[in-house]
Amino acid sequence: MRIGIVLYPTFGGSGVVATELGKALADKGHEIHFITYNQPARLGAFGENIFYHEVRVSDYPLFDYPPYELVLASKLVDVVKYEKLDLLHVHYAIPHASAAYTARQILKEEGIYIPFITTLHGTDITLVGKDASFEPVITFAINQSDAVTAVSKSLRDDTYRHFSISRDIEVIPNFVNVAHYPERKEGSEKRIYAPNGEKILVHISNFREVKRVPDVVEIFTRVRAQMPAKLLLVGDGPQRSMVEHMCRELGTCNDIRFLGKLQQPENILALADLFVLTSESESFGLSSLEAMTCGVPVISTNTGGIPEVNIHGETGFLSNVGDVESMARDAIKLLSDEEMYAHFSKQARRRAEAFDVAKIVPRYEALYKQVVERAKVTP
């Protein structure tokens, strides 16, 4: 099958999952065409069945803002026609689903029907989608999709709650390739960050306000007061300067490392003792699943789809948003009890296996087949 995948090519969860999905499909013999404005961050080397089409927006003085959606729609028309695609799979409702709809209507005028599937990842619904100015377009684009998926039950429910959706939304969760993630490492390999055997806490995000990264620092400060510890922060974004100022004020900068954006965060996760996720809103929490795949227990909030991944009292602990005292207390309890920690670590890895690529990708393939077969009889 020839599939066009439209995505944001960033380190965010939607971009990572869309890229890994395309790579997994290519490994199974499908021809995959990534269509976006930059090469996807997690793409790596190109394989035999992988192609990339760049969407370039010219800078005309007429426009205050580049018309990306229109340029994307035109690019989709071009790629569908000349690469003879069977299907478009767009990740994120805006502007990708609306651009796919526009492309489909243009192609219908030429006697071509290209079906498109929309996968909802979270921010497009839980944050952007609540802006009334976007609501009519998002609702229309979702309802016009040939199929719609969401990465968690929580996100599916939010979508029905905030929009007038008249079609089914299938839950297909995010996934990891378990075989590509190393198990937790101990001893000498950790000394580069913890030279004296300190406990290592890790957080990964885009440092946006919704991630509440200052809460991570608050939790770490409490843990550090009880035991030697280090904090590794992976990613970058708007709140980084605030977090840097916090560690200076608290006097913890010598124990906090900013590692920036990493293409292979699993190498850091394998060194972690705990993963900390403090988000105010999270449709799934892919970074927590990645940590669990390495056998790292998770201390997290209980919002959105996180409880569907991190099981309280088994793979980690859940607390209310902003309750840094509770999260720190749970972290200290877990790090202080070797028997409990070993059990949680084993359960985390086992839980991650339920989200292995080999179990999730066939669900997308089945949906693709269903949508393409249905499109053959679409007038």
pLDDT value for 106: 96
Mean pLDDT of the chain: 91
DSSP string computed for 257-305: EEEE--S-THHHHTT-SEEEE--S--SS-HHHHHHHHTT--EEEE--TT
Record the tokens describing residue 252, joined without a space. Answer: 């913890």
pLDDT value for 224: 96
Percent of the chain clearing pLDDT 90 (strictly above): 71
Mean pLDDT of 8-31: 88
pLDDT value for 77: 97
Report the SS3 class of residue 227. coil
pLDDT value for 57: 80
Is 378's pLDDT higher than 70? no
Distance CA 215, CA 203 (A): 11
Distance CA 199, CA 335 (A): 8
Is 62's pLDDT higher than 60? no
Report the SS3 class of residue 340. helix
If one counts every other C-beta atom within 10 angstroms of the C-beta of residue 19, the result is 25
pTM: 0.91
Is 369's pLDDT higher than 80? yes
Report the range of poorest mean pLDDT among 138-147, 183-192, 251-260, 364-373: 183-192
Distance CA 43, CA 47 (A): 10
Q: Side by side, which strands form the sheet with 170-171?
A: 50-54, 31-36, 2-6, 87-91, 116-120, 147-150, 170-171
Is 126's pLDDT higher than 80? no
Mean pLDDT of 56-75: 78
Question: Looking at per-residue confidence, does 375 or 185 come out higher?
Answer: 375
Confidence label for 60 from pLDDT (cuts 50, 70 and 90):
low
Domains and CATH numbers, the chain: 2-175+357-375 (3.40.50.2000), 178-353 (3.40.50.2000)
- The amino acid present at 242, given as its one-letter code, is M
Task: Tell me the per-residue pLDDT of 37-54, one tens digit each, with 9 for 90 and over.
Answer: 888 877 877 778 999 999
pLDDT value for 63: 61
Confidence label for 76 from pLDDT (cuts 50, 70 and 90):
very high
Percent of the chain clearing pLDDT 70 (strictly above): 95
Task: Tell me the per-residue pLDDT of 193-224, one tens digit each, with 9 for 90 and over.
Answer: 999 999 999 999 999 999 999 999 999 999 99
Report the range of poorest mean pLDDT among 143-157, 175-189, 290-304: 175-189
Record the tokens describing residue 66, joined without a space. Answer: 């580049």
Question: 101, 135, 134, 137: which is closest to 118 by C-alpha?
Answer: 101
Task: Tell me the per-residue pLDDT of 84-104, one tens digit each, with 9 for 90 and over.
Answer: 999 999 998 888 999 999 999
Record the tokens describing residue 364, joined without a space. Answer: 């997308």
Return the bridge partners of 147, or none. 117
Question: Looking at per-residue confidence, does 12 or 171 come out higher?
Answer: 171
Is 270's pLDDT higher than 70? yes
Distance CA 324, CA 76 (A): 46
pLDDT value for 58: 73
Long-range pairs of 347-350 with CB within 8 A, sequence gap ≥ 24: 347/311, 347/314, 347/315, 348/291, 348/292, 348/293, 348/295, 348/296, 348/297, 348/298, 348/315, 348/316, 349/183, 349/292, 349/293, 349/294, 349/295
Confidence label for 305 from pLDDT (cuts 50, 70 and 90):
very high
Confidence label for 379 from pLDDT (cuts 50, 70 and 90):
low
